[in-house]
Amino acid sequence: MVNEEEFLKTLKSSVKDSIDRFYRNLVYIEKKDYLNDLINVLKAYLEINSNPKVAYAFHPWVTESKERMLKIREIFSNFDDIDYSSSDKYLGNTYDIVILDLVDNFQPNYIGRLVDLVRGGGLIVLYTNNLVENKLFKNTIVRNGMVSSLYEERFKNKIAEHEGTFIINEQGYFARTFSGNLGKRTSAVIPKNPYMPIELHRLSLSEDQNNVIESFEFLLRGGKRILALTASRGRGKSAVTGLSLAGIIYKNLEDNFKSRIAVTAPSISSCSQIMEFLKKGLDALGIKNKVIKSDNGFIRAIDGNDFRVYYESPEATLTDQGNILVVDEAAALGINYIDIATKVWRKVVLVTTVYGYEGSGKVFLKYLRNMLVSRKLSVRWLTMEKPLRYAEGDPIENWLYNALMLNAEVSRPLNDINVTYFETLNKEKLINSDSILSQVYGILVTAHYRNNPDDLMIMLDGVHHHLKSIYYDDSYIAVAQVSEEGELSDPMIEYALKGGTFDGDLIPDRMLKHVRIKEFGKMKGWRIVRIAVIPELQDKGIGSKMLLMLSKEAEEERVDWIGSSFMGDPKVLNFWIKNGFYPIHVSPKRNEKFGDFPVVVIKPFSEEAKKIVNISSYIFKEKLLNTLHDVYYDMNPNLASILLKGSRSHKDVKLTKIHLAKISAFLQGTSPYESSADAIHLLVLKYFWDSKRNWNLENEEEQVLIGKILQGKPWGYLSSTLGINRTHMNEIIYESIYDLSKKYYNLDADSTLGVSLEDLSDEFR
């Protein structure tokens, strides 16, 4: 500990060194009277850099927050005030100082997003009166008036442990300067004989970016091609993608070839850097262009003679046609979307983060590689290693990755596993051991690429969140995060029934809104938020063993049900159904960020829960079959097939003799599919409602029947998404209808084509 004068002197010295060596420093202030210290820190920086570019992030709608911001703005001339909720708009900007107001809210996602906007020689300032009390995000984790502060305790400890950090609190002033070694500052290395225009290379900031620009030539060759670009955060991957697209357009114009390029991401703001740098590239090349902006100021499209580049939502790209599809933040959209997109588009660029607040790109890449290899596609993999905004080895990047667990890794098992143990983990023990926390959280991250820093805070601070594990020796091999739900009060149940929403209790909320049975809200449940097994031991029954142990514990604790909610992935859904869970709800809308339909599954224990789940399963199956042509038109047919089989509800669908005659005519070739479609539709419904049969059609047959007959997808679109040509689809439909007609009614191509009026006396009265 030092006095204030020595603290500020040391800070100024460290800032000078950071400017020379291109690294960053961080100041953390937690005091009841924080304002004077905050202003003194900022003025100290001004003595070294008199005109810094400053960003100040806060929640402007909270009482007194604007007043704090205005006091700080008086000090600077180059100042951006940023609303946390729209901070993604600023991800392409670079600042000398970023100030994060943590008085009203402390949310890890915002920390991860905004700290990286500071350049080498710059300063990050976090300030608050108290990190744990009256915080917006933390209030959403409170249950029955209780919440922990384990995450905040660890967060502050990590600041104190790392170099390049300066702390001011009620105890005094603490300075820990950076003394480590750094890599060389990045710079562009223009190729001697570049294929792409040299003007684009001159806009690059690193050799990595120069290499990426040249590699985009891969897309100009014939055939189906995928280019996958991966990097840690702050490497300039989105910017160089925009420059590279300008090169593609330039080369196509040289060859008198038109360019139509779709760019997609979880939101239009997510891909703003691609569009902005595309504009810079086109301008540098002297290519005339017209920018069209969205209502919120982002570039929505760039048009020119013989080219158009435009933002499109992920869902819309699956029915679009063009030369190239660019997917930014690909890991956030998920492997199911990528699978379909790479079938629909011939040229695809996938841009994703290896470590970052958007999700775990490393895990996504594992799934992506497996998928692309299985389909034998031509792929070029590109990586970018060097940071652009600061030097390699920057102490604040190291702190950020450690504090937010962005680089959690799994320990591989060293020995053969003979005996395993099931336990509930002690969260206080976790926060005091980076190695154990990295193992446990790393297991969850390696199995779920849609993680973000907020998840770890919920896991550690939520008193109703529990961590279950399977381990052997000192190694963890499987982890489940379980959240207590249900036992709602009557006012909360009525609130949900009237459309109100509240934090937590996800499954009771969905059941009350979509099934409307009040008693379910009163029941005690466990929602399995995440469950994961280390990669080396997946598909060996360990995940199922975990569910078995959780089920046993739940019954012992007199829990009425356990369940889970997840994005609709066929493999994941099969896992839950195999382990005795019933699908009882699918969101009527795709998740806007991830592009999939969220699914809810439940396994009941109490008799009352079993009755409600049986009713819910029937209602769900009825809704799905009745609305596949409308609400769930865009659902993957394979996912729909698994959901229908998983429901296990039964109804006997009746076909009249006229329907059977129409089917016979179809089988004999005297009636085309379109003329017999009503009868065929009923026969397919009969098959999917029939849960008593001990036989099934082939999976491919079910997908075609769902996609064409129940969803009514156009032949061309269904062909591209399923990877089956139209001729083969017609054959599949014919053979499937033949099999169903034979099994249910003993019909075949030789059956009677017509009926007499007398035959219909019992059916039409």
Fold of 198-384: Rossmann fold (3.40.50)
Give the count of alpha carbons within 13 A of 69, CB side only.
23
Cα distance between residue 370 and residue 277, in whole Å: 32
Give Dmax (Cα) for the chain: 105
* pLDDT (0 to 100) of residue 239: 93
| Whole-Å CA distances, 562 to 302, 505, 515, 524, 612 | 50, 12, 17, 9, 13
- What is the identity of the amino acid at 497? L
Q: Which of 703, 700, 708, 699 is nearest to 680 (CA)?
A: 708
* Distance separating alpha carbons of residues 85 and 89, to the nearest angstrom: 10
Amino acid (one-letter) located at 146: M
Tell which residue, 348, 332, 359, has the closest CA to residue 267: 332
Q: What is the CATH architecture of 4-176?
A: 3-Layer(aba) Sandwich (3.40)
- Contacts of residue 615, defined as CB under 8 A and 6 or more positions apart, other chains included, come to 515, 517
What are the sequence ranges of the domains in the chain? Answer: 4-176, 198-384, 421-627, 657-760
Q: Cite the annotated binding site for ATP by residue number.
A: 209, 389
Q: E-strand spans in 507-568?
A: 524-533, 561-567
Give the model's pLDDT for residue 415.
Answer: 65
- What six digits make up the tokens of 147? 């919440």
Residue 682: predicted pLDDT: 97
Q: Distance between CA atoms of 155 and 457, rounded to whole angstroms? A: 10
**Any idea which residue has 């609305």 for tokens?**
627
Per DSSP, 85 falls in state G
Its pTM stands at 0.85
> Which residues does 139 contact at the CB level (< 8 Å), separation at least 6?
none
Measured CA to CA, the distance from residue 624 to residue 179 in angstroms comes to: 62
> What pLDDT, on a 0 to 100 scale, did the predictor assign at position 359?
46
Task: Look at residue 205 and give its three-state secondary structure.
Answer: coil
d(CA 664, CA 671): 9
Ranges under pLDDT 70 in the chain: 355-364, 412-415, 447-450, 592-595, 752-753, 756, 758, 761, 763-765
Contact (CB, 8 A) for 502 and 381: no
Q: Are 617 and 582 in contact (CB under 8 A)?
A: yes
pLDDT value at position 357? 45
The neighbour count for residue 380, using CB atoms within 10 Å, is: 14
Packing angle, helices 108-115 and 453-461, rounded to 10: 150
Pairing relationship of beta strands 165-169 and 118-128 according to DSSP bridges: unpaired
C-alpha to C-alpha distance for 84 and 82, rounded to whole angstroms: 6
Residue 665 CA: distances (Å) to CA of 680, 710, 726, 749: 11, 21, 21, 8
421-627 maps to which CATH number? 3.40.630.30
Give the dihedral sign, CA 276/282/288/289: negative
Q: Which residues contact 437 (CB under 8 A, 6 or more apart)?
A: 405, 408, 430, 431
Cα–Cα distance, 601 to 511 (Å, whole number):
11
Q: Report the C-alpha gap between 359 and 287 in whole angstroms.
A: 36
Tens digits of residue pLDDT in 361-398: 556 677 777 777 888 888 899 999 888 899 999 999 99
Task: Tell me which H or E stretch contains 10.
Answer: helix 4-21
Which two tokens mark 44? Answer: 């100290």
Return the percentage of the chain with pLDDT > 90, whole number: 71
Annotated binding residues for acetyl-CoA, written as ranges, equal: 531-533
Query: Are residues 97 and 125 in contact, defined by beta-carbon separation less than 8 angstroms?
Result: yes
CATH topology identical between 4-176 and 198-384: yes
The CA-CA-CA angle for residues 116, 117, 119, to 5°, reads 95
Q: How far apart are CA 129 and CA 32, in angstroms?
A: 5
Asked whether the beta carbons of 299 and 293 are under 8 A apart, the reply is yes
Give CA angle at 384 (436, 200), nearest 5°. Answer: 155
Contact of 291 with 302, CB cutoff 8 Å = yes
Residue in the block written with tokens 């017509």? 754
- Report d(CA 690, CA 3) in Å as an integer: 78
pLDDT at 369: 79
404 three-state secondary structure: coil
Structure tokens at 634: 């865009």
- Annotated binding site: which residue ranges? 209, 389, 531-533
Question: What is the enclosing helix (H) or strand (E) of 541?
Answer: none
